[in-house]
Structure 1
Amino acid sequence: MSDSKARIAILGASGYTGSELVRLLLRHPRVEIVALTADRKAGQPMASVFPQFAPFKLPDLITIEQVEWSGVDLVFCALPHGTTQLVIKQVFESAPHVKVVDLSADFRLRDAGAYEQWYGHPHQALELQQEAVYGIVELYRDEIKKARLVANPGCYTTTAILPVVPLIEAGAIDPEHIVVDAKSGVTGAGRSAKENLLYTEVTDGMHAYGVGSHRHMAELDQEFTKAAGRTIVPSFTPHLIPMSRGIYATIYLKTGAGVGAEGVHRVLADFYRGEPFVHVLPLGQVPQTRFVKGSNMAFIGVIKDRAPDRVIVIATTDNLVKGASGQAVQNMNLVLGYPETLGLEQIALFP
Structure 2
Amino acid sequence: MKVAVIGTTGYGGGELIRVLHNHPFFQIHSIHSTRDEMPITEEFPHLESIFEDSLKPVNPDIIGEEADLVFLATPSGVSGKLAEAFIEKDIQVIDLSGDLRMKEPSEYEKWYKHDSVQKQTLSKAVYGLSEWNKESIQKAKLLANPGCYPTATLLGLGPVASAGIIDPKGIIIDGKSGVSGAGKSLTKTSAFAEMNDNFRIYKVNQHQHIPEIEQQLKFWDESIQPVTFSTHLIPITRGIMITAYVQLNQDMNTAELLELYHENYRNQPFVRIRKQGQFPSVKEVAGSNFCDIGIDLDQRTGRLTIVSVIDNLMKGAAGQAVQNANIMNGLDEKAGLNFIPIYP
Provide TM-score, normalisation by structure 1. Answer: 0.94
Q: Deviations for 1:271-324, whole angstroms, at most 9, x for unmatched residues? A: 111210001101121110011000000000012336241121100000000000
The corresponding residue for 2:125 is: 132
2:11 matches 1:22: no
Contact kept? 1:172, 1:259, Cα under 8 Å: no
2:222 matches 1:199: no
Contact kept? 2:86, 2:93, Cα under 8 Å: no
Equivalent pairs counted in the alignment come to 343
Distance in 1 (alpha carbons) for counterparts of 2:14 and 2:241: 22
2:217 matches 1:224: yes
Worse-matched range after superposition: 177-186 or 261-270:
261-270
The corresponding residue for 2:42 is: 48
Worse-matched range after superposition: 302-311 or 277-286:
302-311
Contact kept? 1:253, 1:311, Cα under 8 Å: yes
Distance in 1 (alpha carbons) for counterparts of 2:198 and 2:280: 22
The corresponding residue for 2:279 is: 286
Contact kept? 2:4, 2:63, Cα under 8 Å: no
Q: CA deviation at 1:126?
A: 2.1
Provide TM-score, normalisation by structure 2. Answer: 0.96
Contact kept? 1:79, 1:104, Cα under 8 Å: yes
Distance in 1 (alpha carbons) for counterparts of 2:138 and 2:235: 37
The corresponding residue for 2:59 is: 65
Q: CA deviation at 1:253?
A: 1.3
Q: Deviations for 1:224-256, whole angstroms, at most 9, x for unmatched residues? A: 111112352111000000000000011111112
Residue identity over aligned pairs, in percent, reads 36
Alignment RMSD, CA only? 1.4
What is the aligned counterpart of 1:82 among 73, 77, 80?
A: 77
Q: Deviations for 1:10-31, whole angstroms, at most 9, x for unmatched residues? A: 1100000000000000110111
2:27 matches 1:32: yes
2:331 matches 1:338: yes
Partner-residue secondary structure (3-state), 2:170:
strand
Q: CA deviation at 1:160?
A: 0.5
The corresponding residue for 1:186 is: 179
What is the aligned counterpart of 1:101 among 91, 94, 106?
A: 94
Segments ≥4 residues shifted beyond 6 Å: none
1:83 alignment partner AA: V
The corresponding residue for 2:309 is: 316
- Which consecutive unaligned segments of at least 5 residues does structure 1 have? 1-5
Distance in 2 (alpha carbons) for counterparts of 1:124 and 1:304: 42
What is the aligned counterpart of 2:202 among 201, 206, 209?
A: 209
Distance in 2 (alpha carbons) for counterparts of 1:173 and 1:133: 27
- Which consecutive unaligned segments of at least 5 residues does structure 2 have? none
Contact kept? 1:13, 1:78, Cα under 8 Å: yes
Distance in 1 (alpha carbons) for counterparts of 2:218 and 2:305: 21
Contact kept? 1:165, 1:223, Cα under 8 Å: no
1:8 alignment partner AA: V
Contact kept? 1:33, 1:58, Cα under 8 Å: no
The corresponding residue for 2:142 is: 149
